[in-house]
Amino acid sequence: MGGGTLPPFPSLAAVKADIPLLNGLMKEYDETERMISADRTGATPEPLLMYSRLQNLYLFSMLCVTTDVPYAIIREVSAALKLFLLLVEYKSLIPVIKEVGFYGVPIDDLGVHRLRSIARSRMVELWLRDDVNATAGALKVIGQMVEEHKRELISKGSPHVQKPWRDQLPVYAQLADVLVFGNEFNKRTRYLLEQLLECARDQSATNFESTKELREDVVLSCRIHMSLVLSQLCGAENEAKAKQHTSWVVSQVRDRPYMREMLSGYVLREELPVEHPVATALGPAWFANASSSRSPETRSWWMPSGSGSSSSACAQCGAQKGSVGEELLRCSRCKDAYYCSKDCQKVAWKSHKSICRSAS
């Protein structure tokens, strides 16, 4: 894609204004009858009609930072991405899509392919958020991406058929996220992580300098994952390597409090079967009172307390009010525990979860 100018990024209010229309359109059209068959002749395909009427929601879904999407509209943002993917399945519409472009930015076949890849990747990102954790859906999407990529490598006679991550590192890094967040602590996951680490560190790669930031991110995420995966595999060697990865990650983040939000999404996930070694090594104090980069609307694990009672206190630190003076928020599962911040809730989760689940 190249040339052209994108319109202003839509405000959250504008995006929310599209949601009632989306819900109405979704009820109006029968997806199984009307959307699945590609190249349907006759009436204009419904995904194209939706696309033309939901411009703010579509632009937001394709360009937003997925960690900043308020939990309350994740379903609608995911639906917008899904509708775009359905739209590009209509082969007869590809010339129209190319002509119209992406909000005035001209695109060719490669551009359509890239937009499709972006939409899929963003769906996976949303579903892997620690407050969503829809790993089954994410695995289905990333599995399709991996299989299509492998077929593409074979058709091109690529030298990377046996090690496809050397051609598309981001796709396989996402696959690793899906496997680890789905608690797949096995030799397959370990092998993938090892290969990704080797690939990300390969300074002989022709694009090493131009992809250095991506490679650094992959190294960090893989070593966070290796800390956990190896700790759950048998053998003294796995245990020793797990400790090495844990120590390295801790050394990288301890003096960087701005990384707490990101790291929490890896090591303080509700569905973890054990405490993450990195979380243990850093200790609860490191995560406590961390400033959140998310807006209040993205703090999705609680619902407003409603009562506004000052007699309730944060179950973790005892505060009577939130960090900026707002009323306390409460656990959305049991609705009994109150917290002043997302970070206090995460720190308290280990001790609270057994009570919370029995109550809910």
Q: pTM for the full model?
A: 0.74
CA distance 88 to 84: 6
When pLDDT is cut at 50, 70 and 90, the band that residue 38 belongs to is: very low
The answer to whether the beta carbons of residues 138 and 127 sit under 8 Å apart is yes
* Phi, psi for residue 67 in degrees, rounded to 5: -70, -15
Give the residue-averaged pLDDT of 108-130. Answer: 90
In this structure, the chain runs to a length of 360
b or e along 265-302 (b: 16 or more beta carbons within 10 Å of the residue's beta carbon)?
Answer: bbbbbeebeeebbbbbbbebebbbbbeeebeeebbbbb
- Residue 325's pLDDT is 46
93, 111, 110: which is closest to 101 by C-alpha? 111
When pLDDT is cut at 50, 70 and 90, the band that residue 78 belongs to is: very high
Q: Look up residue 102 and give its DSSP letter.
A: B
Which residue ranges make up each domain of the chain? 1-127, 134-269, 311-360
Give yes or no for residue 103 having a pLDDT over 80: no
CA distance 264 to 278: 10
Instruction: Quote the tokens at residue 37.
Output: 């068959």
